[in-house]
Amino acid sequence: MNIKFTPDHEWLVIEGDTATVGITQHAQDALGDVVFVDLPEVGKTLAAKDVAGVVESVKAAADVYMPVTGEVLAVNEDLRADPSLANSDPMGSGWFFKIKLSNPAELDGLMDETSYKTYEQNA
């Protein structure tokens, strides 16, 4: 499994020219109990660092950023119906959306798991 992380605490699991995107354990820990998610529109193309959605908790609201440029292929309707999945399984059933990569070279600018763990400890 090829997984990358952003400085904004999003993760991507890359499979060929698609990626599944969600928030990390660190992000959900910081947010607390997630009560609402706003997901991007399927078919929309977003640039890296564009706001792709919003996650709201009892403590705060935070933007979810597009980690790389791509077209939104699918959103997690289960997460929309049950936002607590972002807390209970943030790197599994709590995924946010799937994208078709427009520029796979952008992945080179993201962190691997080892680099992210070091970054997370200093966050």
- Per DSSP, the residues of 49-95 read TSEEEEEEESS-EEEEE-SSSEEEEEE-HHHHH-TTHHHH-TTTTT-
AA letter at 36: F
Q: Give all domains of the chain, ordered by start, each with its CATH number.
A: 2-106 (2.40.50.100)
Per-residue model confidence (pLDDT) at position 94: 97
* Predicted model pTM: 0.95
Per-residue model confidence (pLDDT) at position 2: 94
Per-residue model confidence (pLDDT) at position 1: 65
Question: What is the DSSP secondary structure assignment for residue 105, as one 8-state letter?
Answer: G
Per-residue model confidence (pLDDT) at position 109: 96
Contact 35, 49 (CB under 8 A): no
Q: Which residues lie closer than 8 Å to 22 by C-beta, 6 or more apart?
A: 10, 11, 86, 90, 91, 94, 95, 96
Backbone angles phi, psi at 41, to 5 degrees: -80, 130
Strand partners, 85: none
The list of the chain residues with pLDDT below 70 reads 1
